[in-house]
Structure 1
Amino acid sequence: MSAPLTLEKNNLKLGFVALLDCAPLVVAREKGFFKRHGLDVVLCKESSWASIRDKVSFGLYDGAHMLAPMPLASTLGLNGNKTPMMTALALSQNGTAITLSEEFHTLLSKTIDNWEDDKLVGEQFKKQVKSSSVKPVMATVYPYSNHYYQLRYWLEQHGIDAEHDVQLIAVPPTQMIPSLSNGAIDGYCVGEPWNSLALIQKIGGLLTTGHKIWGAHTEKVLGVTQEWAAAYPNTHQALVKALYEACQWVEDINNKEELYQLLALPPYLDQAATTLSDYTPPLAMKQHFAGKQVNVPDPKQGEFILSQMLDCGQLSDADNPADFAIISRTVYRQDLFQKWVS
């Protein structure tokens, strides 16, 4: 048995956004995984991903639950202060979907009898968009997110011009349902539980899921600055180990009931989580928190995300795709994951 790590720092602040995939952080704190590894962690809820980015960048948080593209975008200086970041642990896989307003979805349902048939769904959605007198307003949570890239990817795949046929806007995850309910938006791409809750509340219907669009993909990661990781290597290792163990606990189906009880506590998802434990959406989200390749921060995933940034015009033509592998290996630290937890 290896000797306990001597931690450079024991008291940590971690940021998170109220989504189902913040579960590993919640579980690590509430079930004692952080304590087991010598860490005293305060979890801080934020309403937006921009707040998460800024507070980690400026050292107000030691790290955070992050969208998979965020450490890459921050390292490249996209949409904010250029701060080199990294991840040594993927927290979740899949779990996103595109949801339409109940009115929009009901109209579309008249022409679709099989929502698993993506080609048919895309064809009919295109007809509806093209025939609309007003551009449908579609929201995503952040411009550097899988949600943004998946929505654009799916639209373009079905012949819908993301720049001209629809209006894309950014809305914080917790504001998606109110915005859909009051008619401010016609649909959104977001992570769970904000798709299932729209269906449960009968204010929206699923168009498709992130898994159907891209297959298995890393959704959230543990993000820290490279400067922080260099200053606190043992603390970083303990943090990764604690969260990895929490990911395994979350994935265990036997813990499902207790998981939702923890998520329903006021500091986390609050009452938003109470109706989810017994609900199964009509299209499978295939969300996972542990398993083969789920927790590995795979540089290939990072390269794919960088290619999406390029396709969406977020990187200039001067950015060389040949450098994507180098950038991704610097940010997606598969080597540390394999050294610490494999």
Structure 2
Amino acid sequence: MTSPDTTFSAPERTHLRLGFVALSDAAPLAAAALRDLGARHGITIELCRQPSWAAVRDKLLSGEIDAAHALYGLVYGVQLGIGGPQADMAVLMVLNRNGQAITLSRPLADAIDAGASVKQALRALGRPPVLAQTFPTGTHAMWLYYWLAAQGVHPLRDVQSVVIPPPRMADALVEGALDGFCAGEPWHAVAQARGAGRTVAYTSEIWPDHPEKVLACRRDFAALYPNTARALIRTLLDACAWLDAPAHRTEIAGALASKELLGVSRELIEARLATTDGGAARALPVRFFDGGAVNYPRASDGLWFITQYRRWGMLNTDIDDAAIAASVNQTALYREAAKAAGIAVPGEQRAATFCDGRVWDGGDTAAYLAGFAIGA
């Protein structure tokens, strides 16, 4: 029997319902639940599969689930009340970096392979291309918009952007309802295996080692149950560390293949969940831990999403963006949990160079926004 961790006081809540969407990067939640990694921290985990990110949002807000594997941008969209209900939200930790992609239909991918630019290939359709992402303020919408703009394509004027739940992406591409999509795995691998399209870009090419899914909850949950929140962070850190081993990626791919989790063949999941690039020379592998370098909820990462909402005209109010990011990202709770686990906490600042050569360091947001040639 696992000995309980007595570093902190006992969790105020011992059974937690965690929401997730059928994606390979739900692996930390799956590992935590299937291996009962919460036992030593005094909690048990119940996985609650959701059909869409909107369902994750709604059930977090209603209290039907306690926390969730969530799009970074979903948390900020709810915090800011963009296109839906507003509530004070919390990012407890980052669950993974990289691991997303953009897939286009075979005719478009073939045209690009033959030497056409992305802009030329899309224009040759003779109509606005229909490209899907997974949530209006989510990471995939922001990756898709950023990538298109870097190719000289205006994502709001030249493209019809639609929202589709990740598990529906491959089907929609097969049916001809889409010309392409940005989402997480394994749905790109599924679309490619079905001959409907090919991956033309990886999100790690847009922002190398970008933050992707986070462990999210309502802010009042973290405030009312701080011991529970720390226990949950400790549990997911253990799960992320376990996933660093290549053999464990293989093992979790088999578990994720079950109909209760993803319902996709192990081979398709494992190929793009590997600790190497899975044969995609341009892609950085999905990262879950790397000694804790992945997991710190750096406020400047959250602030970047706010800059993109302003760039695309989704946010026009005069608010203190940096203060919002500092209130959402629970850096103090994370630091306490990481210290108890003996995990180093990275620095607050991290500069990143994007695919268009722009550098984001969390500094002067007004100057950063003014530097974009394409925006709302």
TM over 0.5: yes
Gaps of at least 5 residues in structure 1 are 113-123
- C-alpha distance in 1 between matches for 2:265 and 2:309: 32
Q: Which residue does the alignment assign to 2:303? A: 303
**Structure-to-structure mapping, 1:187-226, within 5 angstroms:** 187-226=180-219
Note if 1:139 corresponds to 2:132.
yes
Choose which of 256, 260, 265 in structure 1 pairs with 2:258.
Answer: 265
CA offsets 1:240-264 (integer angstroms, 9 cap, x no match): 1001110111122131221111111
Shift of 1:281: 4.8
Choose which of 160, 164, 174 in structure 2 pairs with 1:171.
Answer: 164
Shift of 1:276: 3.1
Shift of 1:285: 4.2
**Structure-to-structure mapping, 1:62-211, within 5 angstroms:** 62-111=66-115, 124-211=117-204
- C-alpha distance in 2 between matches for 1:135 and 1:4: 55
Q: Secondary structure at the match of 1:277?
A: helix
Q: Which residue does the alignment assign to 1:119? A: none
Aligned alpha-carbon RMSD (Å): 1.7
- C-alpha distance in 2 between matches for 1:69 and 1:197: 25
- C-alpha distance in 2 between matches for 1:154 and 1:315: 20
Q: Which residue does the alignment assign to 2:287? A: 288
Moved more, 229-238 or 35-44: 35-44
Choose which of 239, 242, 256 in structure 1 pairs with 2:249.
Answer: 256
Would you say the 8 A contact 2:77–2:138 is kept in 1? no
- C-alpha distance in 1 between matches for 2:148 and 2:210: 19
Using the aligned pairs only, state the percent identity: 33
Note if 1:231 corresponds to 2:224.
yes
- C-alpha distance in 2 between matches for 1:31 and 1:108: 44
Q: Which residue does the alignment assign to 1:319? A: 318
- C-alpha distance in 2 between matches for 1:143 and 1:281: 31
Q: Secondary structure at the match of 1:270?
A: coil
Note if 1:23 corresponds to 2:16.
no
Q: Following TM superposition, where does structure 1 have runs of at least 4 consecutive aligned residues deviating by more than 4 angstroms?
A: 1-4
Would you say the 8 A contact 1:10–1:235 is kept in 2? yes
Gaps of at least 5 residues in structure 2 are 273-277, 340-376
- C-alpha distance in 2 between matches for 1:151 and 1:125: 13
Q: Secondary structure at the match of 1:41?
A: strand
Aligned residues: 328
Would you say the 8 A contact 2:95–2:213 is kept in 1? yes
Change (3 A) 1:289 1:3: closer
Moved more, 198-207 or 18-27: 198-207
Choose which of 333, 336, 343 in structure 2 pairs with 1:336.
Answer: 333
Paired letter, 2:89: M
Q: Secondary structure at the match of 1:100?
A: strand
Would you say the 8 A contact 1:71–1:84 is kept in 2? no
CA offsets 1:264-297 (integer angstroms, 9 cap, x no match): 1221112344433246253424210012531010
